[in-house]
Structure 1
Amino acid sequence: MVPAIQFKDVVKVYPLKAGDVTALDHISFEVEHGEFIAIMGPSGSGKSTLLNMMGCLDTPTTGDIFISGIGVRSMSDTELTNLRRDRIGFIFQYFNLFPLLNIIENVSFPQMLKSQKRVDEKKAVEVLRAVQLEERLYTHTPLELSGGQQQRVAIARALINDPDILLCDEPTGNLDSKTGASILDLMTELNRKGSTIIIVTHDPRVAEYTDRTIRIVDGRIAE
Structure 2
Amino acid sequence: MAPVIQFKDVVKIYPLKSGDVTAINHISFSVEHGEFISIMGPSGSGKSTLLTMMGCLDTPTYGDIFISGIGVRDMNDTELTNLRRDRIGFIFQYFNLFPLLNVIENVNFPQMLKSQRQVDENKAIEKLRAVQLDERLYTHTPLELSGGQQQRVAIARALINDPDILLCDEPTGNLDSKTGASIMELMSELHRKGATIIVVTHDPNVAEYTDRTVRIVDGRIAS
Report matched runs for 1:48-67 at 5 Å. 48-67=48-67
Separation in 2, partners of 1:78, 1:124: 25
Shift of 1:192: 0.4
* Equivalence for 2:19: 19
Per the alignment, residue 105 of structure 1 pairs with 105
Q: CA deviation at 1:222?
A: 0.1
Aligned match of 1:173: 173
User: Which residue does the alignment assign to 2:72?
Assistant: 72
User: For structure 1, which runs of at least 5 residues remain unmatched after alignment?
Assistant: none
CA displacement 1:140-199 (0-9 Å, x = unmatched): 000000000000000000000000000000000000101000000000000000000000
Mapped to 2, the partners of 1:194 and 1:151 lie a distance apart of: 20
With the length of structure 1 as denominator, give the TM-score of the two structures: 1.00
3-state SS, counterpart of residue 16 of structure 1: coil
Partner of 1:41: 41
Other-structure match for 1:139: 139
**Superimposed CA distance per residue, residues 87-139 of structure 1 (whole angstroms, 9 cap, x where no aligned partner):** 00000000000000000000000001001001110000000000000000000
Query: SS of the counterpart of 1:98?
Result: coil
Q: Which runs of 5+ in 2 are unaligned?
A: none
Q: Which residue number in structure 2 is paired with residue 123 of structure 1?
A: 123
Q: Does 1:195 align with 2:219?
A: no
- The code of the aligned residue for 2:162 comes to D
Which one-letter code corresponds to 1:42 in the other structure?
A: P
| Alpha-carbon offset, residue 12 of structure 1 | 0.3
For 2:161 and 2:98, the matched residues in 1 are separated by: 18
Q: Look up the equivalent residue of 1:70 and give its one-letter code.
A: I
1:82 aligned to 2:79? no
Counterpart for residue 222 of structure 2: 222
User: Could you tell me how far 1:20 is from its partner in structure 2?
Assistant: 0.4
Aligned length: 223
Hey, what's the Cα distance between the residues in 1 that align with 2:182 and 2:214? 23
Compute the displacement of 1:81 (Å).
0.2
Provide, for residues 42-64 of structure 1, a one-character-per-residue CA deviation record: whole Å limited to 9, x for no partner. 00000110000000000000000
Alpha-carbon RMSD across the aligned residues, in angstroms, is 0.3
CA distance in 2, matches of 1:53, 1:120: 31
CA distance in 2, matches of 1:138, 1:119: 16
- 2-structure distance, mates of 1:62, 1:175: 37
Give, in whole Å, the separation in 1 of the partners of 2:169 and 2:62: 24
Q: Which runs of 4+ in 1 moved over 2 A?
A: none
